[in-house]
Protein backbone atom coordinates (compact mmCIF):
# COMPACT_ATOMS: atom_id res chain seq x y z
CA UNK A 1 0.00 0.00 0.00
CA UNK A 2 1.18 3.46 -0.73
CA UNK A 3 2.10 5.81 2.12
CA UNK A 4 2.98 9.46 2.54
CA UNK A 5 5.46 10.76 5.10
CA UNK A 6 5.62 14.33 6.28
CA UNK A 7 8.82 14.92 8.19
CA UNK A 8 7.78 17.75 10.47
CA UNK A 9 4.65 17.53 12.59
CA UNK A 10 5.02 20.92 14.24
CA UNK A 11 6.92 23.89 12.84
CA UNK A 12 7.21 27.33 14.43
CA UNK A 13 8.66 30.19 12.41
CA UNK A 14 8.86 33.93 12.64
CA UNK A 15 7.31 36.15 9.99
CA UNK A 16 9.51 36.61 6.90
CA UNK A 17 11.36 33.36 7.53
CA UNK A 18 11.66 30.85 4.71
CA UNK A 19 9.64 27.65 4.82
CA UNK A 20 10.28 24.15 3.55
CA UNK A 21 8.02 21.24 4.48
CA UNK A 22 9.15 17.77 3.50
CA UNK A 23 6.97 15.12 1.89
CA UNK A 24 7.96 11.66 0.64
CA UNK A 25 5.75 8.96 -0.81
CA UNK A 26 6.23 5.27 -1.29
CA UNK A 27 4.59 4.42 -4.61
CA UNK A 28 6.67 3.82 -7.74
CA UNK A 29 4.05 4.15 -10.45
CA UNK A 30 2.48 7.22 -11.99
CA UNK A 31 1.29 9.55 -9.28
CA UNK A 32 -0.49 12.85 -8.88
CA UNK A 33 0.77 15.00 -6.01
CA UNK A 34 -0.98 17.64 -3.94
CA UNK A 35 -0.54 19.98 -1.03
CA UNK A 36 -3.70 20.94 0.83
CA UNK A 37 -4.00 23.55 3.59
CA UNK A 38 -6.51 23.79 6.39
CA UNK A 39 -6.78 27.20 8.06
CA UNK A 40 -8.30 27.26 11.56
CA UNK A 41 -12.02 26.58 11.36
CA UNK A 42 -12.02 26.12 7.60
CA UNK A 43 -12.19 23.22 5.19
CA UNK A 44 -9.29 21.67 3.31
CA UNK A 45 -8.22 23.82 0.37
CA UNK A 46 -5.87 23.04 -2.47
CA UNK A 47 -2.54 24.90 -2.38
CA UNK A 48 -1.01 23.33 -5.46
CA UNK A 49 -0.96 20.18 -7.53
CA UNK A 50 1.30 18.23 -9.86
CA UNK A 51 -0.08 15.98 -12.57
CA UNK A 52 2.66 16.13 -15.21
CA UNK A 53 5.06 18.51 -16.94
CA UNK A 54 7.31 21.02 -15.20
CA UNK A 55 8.29 19.49 -11.83
CA UNK A 56 8.40 22.93 -10.22
CA UNK A 57 4.82 23.82 -9.44
CA UNK A 58 3.56 27.19 -8.28
CA UNK A 59 0.44 27.48 -6.19
CA UNK A 60 -1.61 30.10 -4.44
CA UNK A 61 -0.32 32.60 -1.88
CA UNK A 62 3.31 32.36 -3.01
CA UNK A 63 3.75 28.65 -2.32
CA UNK A 64 5.65 26.33 -4.64
CA UNK A 65 6.66 22.68 -4.61
CA UNK A 66 9.21 20.63 -6.49
CA UNK A 67 8.59 17.05 -7.61
CA UNK A 68 11.81 15.02 -7.54
CA UNK A 69 10.89 11.64 -8.95
CA UNK A 70 14.20 9.97 -8.07
CA UNK A 71 13.72 10.90 -4.43
CA UNK A 72 9.95 10.25 -4.32
CA UNK A 73 9.63 13.72 -2.84
CA UNK A 74 7.33 16.71 -3.22
CA UNK A 75 8.54 19.37 -0.80
CA UNK A 76 6.60 22.56 -0.21
CA UNK A 77 8.40 25.91 -0.07
CA UNK A 78 7.69 29.56 0.53
CA UNK A 79 10.47 32.17 0.60
CA UNK A 80 8.85 34.47 3.18
CA UNK A 81 6.01 33.37 5.43
CA UNK A 82 3.29 35.57 6.88
CA UNK A 83 1.27 35.30 10.09
CA UNK A 84 -1.75 34.33 7.95
CA UNK A 85 0.07 31.16 6.85
CA UNK A 86 -0.59 29.63 10.26
CA UNK A 87 -2.47 26.43 9.39
CA UNK A 88 -2.28 22.66 9.01
CA UNK A 89 -0.58 21.49 5.81
CA UNK A 90 -1.19 18.09 4.24
CA UNK A 91 0.72 16.37 1.47
CA UNK A 92 -1.36 13.89 -0.55
CA UNK A 93 -0.81 11.43 -3.38
CA UNK A 94 -2.96 9.35 -5.63
CA UNK A 95 -2.07 6.76 -8.20
CA UNK A 96 -3.05 7.28 -11.78
CA UNK A 97 -3.59 4.72 -14.50
CA UNK A 98 -5.35 4.79 -17.83
CA UNK A 99 -8.57 3.81 -16.10
CA UNK A 100 -8.51 6.73 -13.71
CA UNK A 101 -7.12 7.54 -10.31
CA UNK A 102 -7.71 6.22 -6.83
CA UNK A 103 -8.49 8.30 -3.78
CA UNK A 104 -5.92 10.45 -2.05
CA UNK A 105 -3.50 9.07 0.51
CA UNK A 106 -2.61 11.82 2.97
CA UNK A 107 0.35 12.40 5.22
CA UNK A 108 -0.25 13.08 8.90
CA UNK A 109 0.02 16.82 8.41
CA UNK A 110 2.31 19.60 9.59
CA UNK A 111 1.00 22.16 12.05
CA UNK A 112 2.66 25.46 11.09
CA UNK A 113 2.63 28.38 13.50
CA UNK A 114 3.93 31.76 12.38
CA UNK A 115 4.87 34.13 15.15
CA UNK A 116 4.43 37.86 14.46
CA UNK B 1 -19.52 28.12 -7.64
CA UNK B 2 -21.12 26.34 -4.71
CA UNK B 3 -18.84 24.05 -2.77
CA UNK B 4 -19.33 20.60 -1.33
CA UNK B 5 -22.15 20.69 1.22
CA UNK B 6 -22.23 18.43 4.25
CA UNK B 7 -24.64 18.04 7.14
CA UNK B 8 -24.83 17.99 10.04
CA UNK B 9 -21.73 19.92 11.11
CA UNK B 10 -21.61 18.31 14.53
CA UNK B 11 -23.11 15.17 16.02
CA UNK B 12 -22.84 13.60 19.47
CA UNK B 13 -24.16 10.07 19.97
CA UNK B 14 -23.78 7.28 22.46
CA UNK B 15 -21.90 4.13 21.54
CA UNK B 16 -24.01 1.49 19.84
CA UNK B 17 -26.31 4.14 18.38
CA UNK B 18 -26.55 4.77 14.65
CA UNK B 19 -25.75 7.95 12.74
CA UNK B 20 -25.94 9.17 9.15
CA UNK B 21 -24.08 11.90 7.32
CA UNK B 22 -25.16 13.60 4.12
CA UNK B 23 -23.10 15.06 1.30
CA UNK B 24 -24.03 17.08 -1.77
CA UNK B 25 -21.05 17.36 -4.17
CA UNK B 26 -20.28 20.16 -6.56
CA UNK B 27 -22.67 20.04 -9.48
CA UNK B 28 -21.38 17.90 -12.33
CA UNK B 29 -18.67 16.17 -10.31
CA UNK B 30 -18.70 12.48 -11.16
CA UNK B 31 -16.37 11.29 -8.41
CA UNK B 32 -17.31 11.45 -4.73
CA UNK B 33 -15.18 10.43 -1.77
CA UNK B 34 -15.74 9.93 1.95
CA UNK B 35 -12.77 10.33 4.26
CA UNK B 36 -12.34 9.82 8.00
CA UNK B 37 -9.99 12.19 9.83
CA UNK B 38 -9.08 11.21 13.37
CA UNK B 39 -7.58 13.95 15.53
CA UNK B 40 -3.88 14.43 14.83
CA UNK B 41 -3.91 12.39 11.61
CA UNK B 42 -4.44 13.01 7.93
CA UNK B 43 -7.71 12.06 6.26
CA UNK B 44 -8.12 8.38 5.41
CA UNK B 45 -10.17 7.29 2.41
CA UNK B 46 -13.24 5.24 3.30
CA UNK B 47 -14.98 4.94 -0.06
CA UNK B 48 -14.82 6.32 -3.60
CA UNK B 49 -17.78 6.52 -5.96
CA UNK B 50 -17.73 7.10 -9.70
CA UNK B 51 -21.24 8.33 -10.51
CA UNK B 52 -23.38 5.87 -8.51
CA UNK B 53 -20.94 2.96 -8.62
CA UNK B 54 -18.36 2.06 -5.97
CA UNK B 55 -14.76 2.26 -7.22
CA UNK B 56 -12.94 1.53 -3.95
CA UNK B 57 -14.31 0.59 -0.55
CA UNK B 58 -11.33 -1.45 0.62
CA UNK B 59 -10.84 0.65 3.77
CA UNK B 60 -14.52 0.86 4.73
CA UNK B 61 -15.32 -1.20 7.88
CA UNK B 62 -18.25 -2.91 6.23
CA UNK B 63 -19.49 -4.58 9.40
CA UNK B 64 -20.65 -1.18 10.67
CA UNK B 65 -20.20 1.41 7.91
CA UNK B 66 -22.27 1.72 4.76
CA UNK B 67 -22.51 4.32 2.05
CA UNK B 68 -24.63 4.93 -0.98
CA UNK B 69 -24.85 7.42 -3.79
CA UNK B 70 -28.23 7.05 -5.36
CA UNK B 71 -28.71 8.71 -8.75
CA UNK B 72 -25.02 9.60 -8.82
CA UNK B 73 -25.41 12.89 -6.96
CA UNK B 74 -25.96 13.09 -3.18
CA UNK B 75 -24.42 10.54 -0.88
CA UNK B 76 -25.02 9.29 2.64
CA UNK B 77 -22.59 7.56 4.99
CA UNK B 78 -24.02 5.54 7.85
CA UNK B 79 -22.47 4.02 10.95
CA UNK B 80 -24.40 1.35 12.83
CA UNK B 81 -23.59 0.63 15.61
CA UNK B 82 -21.08 3.34 16.48
CA UNK B 83 -17.99 2.69 18.58
CA UNK B 84 -15.91 5.11 20.63
CA UNK B 85 -13.08 4.88 18.08
CA UNK B 86 -15.40 6.22 15.36
CA UNK B 87 -15.06 9.70 16.89
CA UNK B 88 -13.59 11.72 14.04
CA UNK B 89 -14.34 14.29 11.38
CA UNK B 90 -16.01 12.77 8.32
CA UNK B 91 -15.11 14.59 5.14
CA UNK B 92 -16.83 14.44 1.82
CA UNK B 93 -14.99 15.47 -1.34
CA UNK B 94 -15.77 15.53 -5.03
CA UNK B 95 -13.86 15.91 -8.27
CA UNK B 96 -14.92 16.49 -11.83
CA UNK B 97 -12.80 13.63 -13.12
CA UNK B 98 -10.62 11.50 -10.85
CA UNK B 99 -6.95 11.67 -11.77
CA UNK B 100 -7.40 14.69 -14.01
CA UNK B 101 -8.76 17.31 -11.65
CA UNK B 102 -8.30 17.94 -7.96
CA UNK B 103 -10.74 17.05 -5.19
CA UNK B 104 -12.74 19.73 -3.41
CA UNK B 105 -13.59 19.15 0.24
CA UNK B 106 -16.60 20.00 2.36
CA UNK B 107 -16.46 21.39 5.89
CA UNK B 108 -16.90 17.95 7.38
CA UNK B 109 -19.06 16.48 10.13
CA UNK B 110 -17.46 16.20 13.56
CA UNK B 111 -18.73 13.03 15.24
CA UNK B 112 -18.26 12.43 18.95
CA UNK B 113 -19.19 9.01 20.29
CA UNK B 114 -19.59 8.90 24.09
pLDDT tens, N- to C-terminus, chain A (116 residues): 779 999 889 999 999 999 999 999 998 788 999 999 999 989 999 999 999 899 999 999 999 999 999 999 999 999 999 999 999 999 999 987 766 778 899 999 999 999 98
**DSSP code string of A42-96:** S--EEEEEESSS-SEEE-GGG-EEEEEGGGTEEEEEESS--GGG-EEEEEEEEEE
What pLDDT, on a 0 to 100 scale, did the predictor assign at position A9? 92
| Chain A to chain B Cβ contacts (< 8 Å) | 60
What pLDDT, on a 0 to 100 scale, did the predictor assign at position B101? 80
What pLDDT, on a 0 to 100 scale, did the predictor assign at position B27? 94
CB-CB neighbors (< 8 A) of A36 in chain B: 105
Q: What burial letters (b/e) apply to B63-76, b meaning 16+ CB within 10 Å? A: eebbbebeeebebe
pLDDT tens readout for residues B51-70: 889 999 999 999 999 999 98
pLDDT tens readout for residues B71-101: 889 999 999 999 999 999 999 999 987 767 8
What pLDDT, on a 0 to 100 scale, did the predictor assign at position A98? 67
What pLDDT, on a 0 to 100 scale, did the predictor assign at position B23? 98
B35, B44, B102: residue with CB nearest A34: B102
Q: SS3 letters for B46-108?
A: EEEEECCEEEECCCCCCCCEEEECHHHCCEEEEECCCCHHHCEEEEEEEECCECCECCEECCC
What pLDDT, on a 0 to 100 scale, did the predictor assign at position B1? 61
Q: Is the pLDDT of residue B49 over 80?
A: yes
Residue A101's closest chain B neighbor by CA?
B99
What pLDDT, on a 0 to 100 scale, did the predictor assign at position B97? 79
What pLDDT, on a 0 to 100 scale, did the predictor assign at position B5? 97
Amino acid sequence: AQSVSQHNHHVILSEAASLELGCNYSYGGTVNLFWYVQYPGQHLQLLLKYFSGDPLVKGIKGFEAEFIKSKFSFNLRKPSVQWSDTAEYFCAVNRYSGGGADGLTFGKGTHLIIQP
Amino acid sequence: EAGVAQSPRYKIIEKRQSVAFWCNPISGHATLYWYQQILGQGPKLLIQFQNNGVVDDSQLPKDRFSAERLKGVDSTLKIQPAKLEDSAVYLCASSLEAGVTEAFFGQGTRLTVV
